[in-house]
């Protein structure tokens, strides 16, 4: 959805930089006519491309909320994505500030945050709703935790909230395709939830090491649809060096491919074209997790990580840190790693060697496209059932998502990822592929740590190619739980 427009914005930034260099260069070595000509040549391009995004109407009415607070519940670590007190010169923080000012001034409203740890915040949200208080307008909270809360009938259906328009580009198409069942969608993905972009899983590639080991044009392999798990294994399985000379394979050595255990392993289910819950041709939700292909995936990945000298996973409890793979990558000790876009790019900003960003590999070349998922710690949007002025919540939420799309997402995606941080032009195209391939599976969003979404990380990290027996022991409980999820949607209208 963003690819064409984001590439336009990348060109804008580069052209603007050229214009600035011309206008600020040595005036003694250029004529004023030449300088002004070059600057004016770029101005229409900048104006047209920015206006293309800015001119998408949100259809919101004129309202004056007389300075009332609009309170958003969020985990403490995500508070910065919601509020910034002033401009500081940081591109992303300033974009947050400008977005907020645009909404606050337009509707004469004051944004506020109720921030706390995840567990405490869940309790505060639940207690507020049980007390029938109208003190929380919007929840921007941990997706899996929020999905579990939703099962207690505490959130409104987004389709019942005025002025919310899922057809607009600031809402994920998954809201309609995956997260809506029988006209009910209590949890939604909008651009206001910036970490739904930042927490997207990808593969990082050390370009220098790739050249040292004589690897092919990896970007060309990806573009040709040949970036598969078998291909990755073939080029990384023999890349190994005992860096600490202890004659033992450990996390301090150099490998062709390193993965962190846990969520980066779960991602392979979706990367290989799998799902937990899916709609059939009649629109009914079905549990589709258990297939022969899923069993093959687990067997393949166990062999991938444990039968190849050049491929390593931090399966030891002492190495479970989510930064393990990033640490090794930054130390020039891995050609490829699994990681998420936002955390990884920030962590690797000072890395000396150039690196690229790639999608997760496909299962095989017959798979239609590349897929990935977003870590369960990303935020999702929900409205408590105790909200009395639903029109107000709809207007402000729609405005926040729209202004995020117009101001914050371009700043983050273009300036931070592609221009400021990313080291090579090919990664621009790769990032487009990755962001467009995100899967928001109903079975994951509403997993509640009771479903099937985390089986991969358990079996693969433990080198247990025993999916069928594991599934047999869990199937009854998992199926029963997802029956309650499906039932929640089917009975939603009766309960509200």
Alpha-carbon distance of 47 to 19, in angstroms, equals 14
Structure-token pair, residue 117: 């740890």
Residue 120 · residue 55 · CB < 8 Å: no
pLDDT band at 356 (very low <50, low <70, confident <90, very high): confident
User: What's the rounded mean pLDDT across residues 372-394?
Assistant: 96
What is the structure's pLDDT at 495? 82
Long-range contacts of the stretch 4-10 (C-beta < 8 A, 24+): 5/49, 5/52, 5/53, 6/410, 6/413, 6/414, 6/418, 6/428, 6/432, 7/428, 7/429, 7/432, 8/49, 8/52, 9/49, 9/50, 9/53, 9/410, 9/414, 10/414, 10/418, 10/419, 10/428
Residue 430 · residue 218 · CB < 8 Å: no
The single residue listed with the structure tokens 């929840």 is 139
In tens, the pLDDT along 293-321 reads: 999 999 999 999 999 999 999 876 445 56
Higher pLDDT, 175 or 10: 175
What is the structure's pLDDT at 43? 43
pLDDT band at 248 (very low <50, low <70, confident <90, very high): confident
What is the structure's pLDDT at 416? 57
Alpha-carbon distance of 376 to 387, in angstroms, equals 26
Q: Report the run of H or E that residue 269 belongs to, with start and end.
A: helix 263-271
Question: In terms of Cα–Cα distance, which of 66, 93, 69, 68 is closest to 82?
Answer: 93
In tens, the pLDDT along 207-221 reads: 999 999 999 999 999
What is the structure's pLDDT at 200? 93
pLDDT band at 16 (very low <50, low <70, confident <90, very high): very low
Least-confidence region, from 85-99, 385-399, 409-423, 461-475: 409-423
Helix (H, G, I), strand (E, B) or coil at 467: helix
DSSP-derived letter for residue 154 is: -
In tens, the pLDDT along 267-296 reads: 999 999 999 999 998 889 999 999 999 999
User: What's the rounded mean pLDDT across residues 126-141?
Assistant: 96
pLDDT band at 323 (very low <50, low <70, confident <90, very high): confident
């Amino acid at each position: 959805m963003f690819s064409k427009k984001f590439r336009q914005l990348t060109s804008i930034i580069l052209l603007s930089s050229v214009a600035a260099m011309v206008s600020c260069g040595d005036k003694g070595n250029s004529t004023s006519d030449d300088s002004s000509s070059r600057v004016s040549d770029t101005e229409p391009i900048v104006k047209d491309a920015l206006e293309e995004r800015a001119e998408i109407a949100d259809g919101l009415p004129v309202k004056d909320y007389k300075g009332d607070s609009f309170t958003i519940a969020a985990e403490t670590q995500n508070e910065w994505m919601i509020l910034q007190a002033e401009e500081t010169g940081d591109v992303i923080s300033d974009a947050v500030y400008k977005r907020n000012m645009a909404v606050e001034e337009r509707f004469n409203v004051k944004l506020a945050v109720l921030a706390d740890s995840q567990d405490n915040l869940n309790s505060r949200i639940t207690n507020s709703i049980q007390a029938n208080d109208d003190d929380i307008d919007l929840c921007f909270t941990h997706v899996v935790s929020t999905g579990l809360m939703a099962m207690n009938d505490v959130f409104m259906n987004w389709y019942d909230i005025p002025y919310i328009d899922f057809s607009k580009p600031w809402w994920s198409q998954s809201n309609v395709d995956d997260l809506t069942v029988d006209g009910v969608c209590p949890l939604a993905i909008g651009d206001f939830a910036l970490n739904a972009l930042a927490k997207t899983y990808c593969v990082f590639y050390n370009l220098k090491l790739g050249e040292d080991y004589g690897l092919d044009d990896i970007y060309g392999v990806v573009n040709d649809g040949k970036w598969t798990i078998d291909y990755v294994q073939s080029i990384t399985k023999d890349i190994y060096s005992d860096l600490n000379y202890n004659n033992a394979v450990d996390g301090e050595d150099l490998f062709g491919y390193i993965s962190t255990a846990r969520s980066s392993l779960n991602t392979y289910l979706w990367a290989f074209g799998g799902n937990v819950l899916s709609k059939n041709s009649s629109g009914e939700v079905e549990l589709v997790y258990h297939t022969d292909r899923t069993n093959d995936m687990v067997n393949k990945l166990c062999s991938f990580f444990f039968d190849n000298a050049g491929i390593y996973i931090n399966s030891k409890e002492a190495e479970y840190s989510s930064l393990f793979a990033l640490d090794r990558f930054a130390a020039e000790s891995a050609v490829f790693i699994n990681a998420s876009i936002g955390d990884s790019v920030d962590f690797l900003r000072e890395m000396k060697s150039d690196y690229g960003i790639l999608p997760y590999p496909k299962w095989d070349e017959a798979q239609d496209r590349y897929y990935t998922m977003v870590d369960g710690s990303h935020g999702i949007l929900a409205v408590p059932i105790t909200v009395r002025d639903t029109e107000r919540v709809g207007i402000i939420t729609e405005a926040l998502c729209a202004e995020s799309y117009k101001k914050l997402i371009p700043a983050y995606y273009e300036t931070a990822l592609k221009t400021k941080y990313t080291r090579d032009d090919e990664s621009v195209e790769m990032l487009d592929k990755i962001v467009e391939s995100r899967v928001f599976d109903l079975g994951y969003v509403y997993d509640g740590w009771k479903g099937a979404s985390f089986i991969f990380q358990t079996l693969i990290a433990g080198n247990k190619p025993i999916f069928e027996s594991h599934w047999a022991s869990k199937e009854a409980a998992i199926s029963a739980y997802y029956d309650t999820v499906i039932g929640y949607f089917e009975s939603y209208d009766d309960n509200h």
